[in-house]
Amino acid sequence: MGTSEWTSFHSNPIDCFFQGLVGACGISVLCNLKRVYNFIQTCSDSETETESKQRSLSAGNHLRGKWIRALQFCFLTALLSLVGSRVSSLIVLEFSLRAVSAWASAGLDAKGRGLDLLLTQCQFSLGCGLTCTLDFLHQGAPHSSLSLFLAAALSWALASVSHSVWSHVARLFPLHSRERDCGQCITLLASGHTILASVQRAVVLAFALATVASTATVYDHFLSQKDALKFWTPLTLCYTILVVYSQEDQQRRTGTKALLHTAVLRLGALLVLMLTVGNWSDVFHVLITFLGEAVCLLPSQDLLEAELKEEEDTSLGKHEQSSSHKNKGLTHNGNIIR
């Protein structure tokens, strides 16, 4: 087996690098905008100047880890460049199945709490979706390198703008929101609550396009052989059952360790699947996805903890509201008896 078969560089290493860069930029934009949204919501909930200073100090601690985020960006670019389109397509379809399973089993309330948590978990899957979509769209294109370069340049510009907004908000938003002397902060104060909905729509659109590209790729590489469906049907059913089980297990457990456990369980099942129907290069690419998920989730502990805390507060509020209604009902019945 040649060296090129073990990597995604079967066509052009430059194209693969540009695709990986676009995927890493997409992940960066997602995380930066979510941090901006969470920080604005946190500042809006704070009432005292001391709390605002504490949150500003906490944001400063995040900004001091700028070199960690730069290192994360470089790692993601390299990992997404190495993962082939075959495994990337399976990652996208697996996450799409997991998102549908989460919506069907738990449901997403009107404020989209469940989708908010899925947005943080979808980071590496989003990167794989962007790379496999670009690979699908540029197959056989005569000037694919130029097109991918333009896409990478646009993605870099968007990632730079989102990082600049997050840096400004983390350093100056508590002060500017009180003094009303910054147009950018005033705009975010007025319309910052719409950031999450816009991000959700963009991610859903990206996964919709990636699902089409991934389905075509999986069919060409795995299902086009004779009698392939007879072999893939039971495997797909088993994998679907595993996804549903892992989703229910995640709902029973709490904390970021449960999310990491779920990610390892899913990728372990995908590794077994590739050992069964794939080749050794696919197995190598699945091992790379382990690193990719770790590189995405470990530096995102602040986002995961904030969303888990928000879900716990929402559940507690609903429980207290239900108890209040019950107590009112008992008092009302007592008055009737009297």
pLDDT tens per residue, range 258-297 = 677 777 777 887 888 788 777 888 888 989 998 999 898 8
**Domain assignment of residue 138, yes or no:** yes
CA angle, 19 then 287 then 256, to 5°:
95
**Domain assignment of residue 288, yes or no:** yes
**Domain assignment of residue 2, yes or no:** no
pLDDT computed for residue 336 by the predictor:
42
Q: What is the largest CA-CA distance in the chain?
A: 88
Residue of higher predicted confidence among 239 and 215: 215
> What is the model's pTM?
0.83
The candidate with the shortest Cα–Cα distance to 259, out of 69, 118, 80, is 118
Beta carbons of 103 and 247 less than 8 angstroms apart:
no
**pLDDT greater than 50 at residue 14:** yes
- Which domain, by its residues, includes 302? 9-337
CA separation for the pair 333, 172 (Å, rounded): 54
**Confidence at 337, pLDDT banded by 50, 70, 90:** very low
The amino acid occupying position 150 is L
pLDDT computed for residue 52 by the predictor:
47
**Domain assignment of residue 3, yes or no:** no
CA atoms within 13 A on the CB side of 50: 0
The candidate with the shortest Cα–Cα distance to 216, out of 149, 132, 278, is 132
**Domain assignment of residue 4, yes or no:** no
**Domain assignment of residue 127, yes or no:** yes
- What residues have CB less than 8 Å from 31, skipping those under 6 apart? 123, 300, 303
Question: In the chain, how many domains are there?
Answer: 1
Mean residue pLDDT of the chain comes to 77
pLDDT tens for each residue of 19-64: 999 999 999 999 999 989 988 887 776 544 444 444 544 555 555 5
Beta carbons of 56 and 168 less than 8 angstroms apart:
no
**Domain assignment of residue 1, yes or no:** no
CA atoms within 13 A on the CB side of 269: 20
**Domain assignment of residue 314, yes or no:** yes
